[in-house]
Structure 1
Amino acid sequence: MDRKFIHFRPTEARIDLGAVVHNVRVLGALTPAGTAFMAVVKADAYGHGAVPVARAARDAGASWFGVALLEEALELRGAGLSEPVLVLGAVPASAAPAAVGADVRLALFDPDLARALDAAARERGRPARVHLKIDTGMGRVGVRPEDLAAFLDLLGTLPGVEVEGVFTHFATADETDLSFARDQLERFHRCLELLSHRGVRPRIRHAANTAGILALPESHLDLVRAGIGLYGIYPSAEVVRSADLRPVLRWTTRI
Structure 2
Amino acid sequence: MPKAQETVLEIDLGALAHNYRTIRSNVPQDVKFMAVIKAYAYGSDSVSVAQKLEEIGADYFAVAYIQEGVRLRKAGISTPVMIFHPQKENFEQLLEHCLEPSLYSEKLLKEFIAFAEEKQQKDYPVHIKFNTGMNRLGFAEKETGKIFEILRNTSAVKVQSAFSHLAASEDWKEREFTLGQINTFRRIATKFIEEFSYEPLLHICNTSGIFNYPEAALSMVRSGIGLYGFGNDKNIDTDLKPVGTLKTLISQIQHLETGETVGYNRTYKVDRPSKIATLPLGYADGIHRKYGNEKIGVFVKEQYAPIVGNICMDIIMIDVTDIDCEEGDEVIIFGGPQHATKFAKAGDTISYELITGISQRVTRVIIPE
Give TM-score scaled by structure 1 length: 0.89
Q: Which amino acid aligns with 1:63?
A: D
Q: 1:23 to 1:219 in 2, by over 3 A?
A: same
Q: CA deviation at 1:233?
A: 0.8
Q: 1:26 maps to what in 2?
A: 22
Q: Which amino acid aligns with 2:48?
A: P
Task: Give the whole-Å Cα distance in 2 for the aligned partners of 1:187 and 1:246.
Answer: 34
The 8 Å contact of residues 121 and 157 in structure 2, kept in 1 or not, is answered as no
Q: 2:229 maps to what in 1?
A: 232
Q: 1:61 to 1:172 in 2, by over 3 A?
A: same
Q: CA deviation at 1:243?
A: 6.3
Residues 120-149 of structure 1: per-residue CA shift (max 9 Å, x gap): 333244432111100000111000011111
Task: Give the whole-Å Cα distance in 2 for the aligned partners of 1:15 and 1:112.
Answer: 40
1:170 matches 2:189: no
Q: 1:115 to 1:96 in 2, by over 3 A?
A: farther
Task: Give the whole-Å Cα distance in 2 for the aligned partners of 1:8 and 1:48.
Answer: 19
Which is further off, 147-156 or 92-101? 92-101
The 8 Å contact of residues 205 and 222 in structure 1, kept in 2 or not, is answered as yes
Q: 1:102 maps to what in 2?
A: 97
Task: Give the whole-Å Cα distance in 2 for the aligned partners of 1:107 and 1:125.
Answer: 17
Q: Which amino acid aligns with 1:113?
A: L
Q: Which amino acid aligns with 1:224?
A: V
Give TM-score scaled by structure 2 length: 0.63
The 8 Å contact of residues 10 and 244 in structure 2, kept in 1 or not, is answered as yes
The 8 Å contact of residues 170 and 207 in structure 1, kept in 2 or not, is answered as yes
Task: Give the whole-Å Cα distance in 1 for the aligned partners of 2:103 and 2:153.
Answer: 15
Q: 1:37 maps to what in 2?
A: 33
Q: Which amino acid aligns with 1:218?
A: E
Q: CA deviation at 1:111?
A: 2.5
Task: Give the whole-Å Cα distance in 2 for the aligned partners of 1:12 and 1:103.
Answer: 33
The Cα RMSD (Å) is 1.9
Q: 2:139 maps to what in 1?
A: 143
Higher relative contact order (CA 8 A, sep 6+): 1
Q: 1:65 maps to what in 2?
A: 61
Q: 1:155 maps to what in 2?
A: 151
1:14 matches 2:4: no
SS in 2 for 1:130: strand
SS in 1 for 2:159: strand
Q: Which amino acid aligns with 1:117?
A: F
Match of residue 186, structure 2, among 184, 189, 192: 189
Q: 1:54 to 1:112 in 2, by over 3 A?
A: same
Structure 1 residues not aligned, in runs of 5+: 1-6
Q: 2:71 maps to what in 1?
A: 75
The 8 Å contact of residues 163 and 202 in structure 1, kept in 2 or not, is answered as no
SS in 2 for 1:241: helix
1:117 matches 2:142: no
Q: 1:3 maps to what in 2?
A: none
Q: CA deviation at 1:15?
A: 1.0
**Higher strand residue share:** 2
The 8 Å contact of residues 96 and 113 in structure 1, kept in 2 or not, is answered as no
Q: CA deviation at 1:65?
A: 0.5
Match of residue 201, structure 1, among 198, 203, 228: 198
User: Percent identity over the alignment?
Assistant: 32
The 8 Å contact of residues 100 and 127 in structure 1, kept in 2 or not, is answered as no
Q: CA deviation at 1:236?
A: 4.7
Task: Give the whole-Å Cα distance in 1 for the aligned partners of 2:41 and 2:245.
Answer: 15
Task: Give the whole-Å Cα distance in 2 for the aligned partners of 1:173 and 1:226.
Answer: 13
The 8 Å contact of residues 100 and 128 in structure 1, kept in 2 or not, is answered as no
Q: Aligned pair count?
A: 245
Q: 1:4 maps to what in 2?
A: none
Q: 1:180 maps to what in 2?
A: 177
The 8 Å contact of residues 130 and 140 in structure 2, kept in 1 or not, is answered as yes
The 8 Å contact of residues 214 and 242 in structure 1, kept in 2 or not, is answered as no
Residues 16-44 of structure 1: per-residue CA shift (max 9 Å, x gap): 01111111111001110111111110000
The 8 Å contact of residues 129 and 138 in structure 2, kept in 1 or not, is answered as yes
Q: CA deviation at 1:85?
A: 0.4
Q: CA deviation at 1:242?
A: 7.4
